[in-house]
Amino acid sequence: MKVSVTTLTKGAYLIIEHTEALHVIDVNSGNRSNKANNQEDTAMEVNMIAAAEIARQLRLRDMGGIIVIDFIDMNSAENRKAVYEKMESEMKRDRARHKILPISRFGLMELTRQRVRPETNITTREENPDNLVEAPIQVIDAMASKLAQIEMREVYIHVHPFIESYLTKGFFSSIKKTWQKKFRKKIVVVPRDAFTMLEWKVMDKDNNAL
């Protein structure tokens, strides 16, 4: 599975997961949740921005086959319809053949798209002043190796909110749940806004580094 992160405006972002069977795009509000009048307004605002960016990413990457978009849940059927119409409008400029289904009450939209050219894989990396740091998937592997060495029954992993979302909010199942079963310990993932995207620490409940 390949995963990349695309940032939107003012803290919102997309997590794009590529599997053999389909592509899954998860829409996240980031730090916008307390900036709108209520949760429904925030969801609507972010989903409308995400619809435009997702349509652009589909063309940019020429993603084909089955694509599932996990929009932020909206209670209003009117709002779900508005986001669906926004997606249809944005996809009109796509020359690839495609079909879009309305958003379900659980916030899921399904669409199919025929590729125009071989799919483009875009690797997301974060730059530091000296060089390109390791890709996020390598950080995940490093975390797993660290957890395997720790004998404590409860650990806390402090990470950037992007990585927290990837660890806990996967479309099919979260990596955190998989790790808890594999390593037989309680794992708490703590989002830290002050961390860089690939920065992480494993600690005990008293914030002592392990």
Query: pLDDT-derived band of residue 62, with 50, 70 and 90 as boundaries?
Result: confident
Query: What are the residues facing 110 on neighbouring strands?
Result: 68
Rounded CA-CA distance 191/199 in Å is 11
Which of 38, 47, 37, 39 has the alpha carbon at shortest distance from 9? 47
Give me the helices (H) in the chain, please: 39-61, 77-91, 136-149, 161-168, 175-183
Residue 109: Cβ-neighbour burial (10 angstroms; 0-12, 13-18, 19+):
buried
The SS3 call for residue 111 is strand
- Binned at pLDDT 50, 70 and 90, residue 133 comes out as very low
Q: Residue 107 has what pLDDT?
A: 82
Task: Look at the alpha carbons of 115, 119, 120, 125 in this order and tell me if their dihedral is positive or negative.
Answer: positive
Q: Decide if pLDDT at 168 tops 90.
A: no
Instruction: Give, rounded to a whole angstrom, the gap between the first and last alpha carbons of the chain.
Output: 29
Q: How far apart are CA 139 and CA 26, in angstroms?
A: 20
Residue 103 has pLDDT above 60, yes or no: yes
Give the distance, in angstroms, between the CA of residue 199 and the centroid of all CA atoms in the same chain.
Answer: 17
Residue 65's nearest CA partner among 32, 93, 99, 42 is: 99
DSSP 1-28: -EEEEEE-STT-EEEEEE-SS-EEEEEE
With a cut of 80, say whether residue 72 has pLDDT above it: yes
3-class SS of residue 92: coil
What span, in angstroms and rounded, lies between the C-alpha atoms of 80 and 40? 11
pLDDT digits (tens, 9 = 90+) for 2-30: 777 888 876 788 988 887 668 889 998 87
Q: Whole-structure pTM over 0.85, yes or no?
A: no
Q: What is the DSSP letter of 151?
A: -
pLDDT score recorded for residue 173: 55
Give the pairing type, strands 65-70 and 23-28. parallel
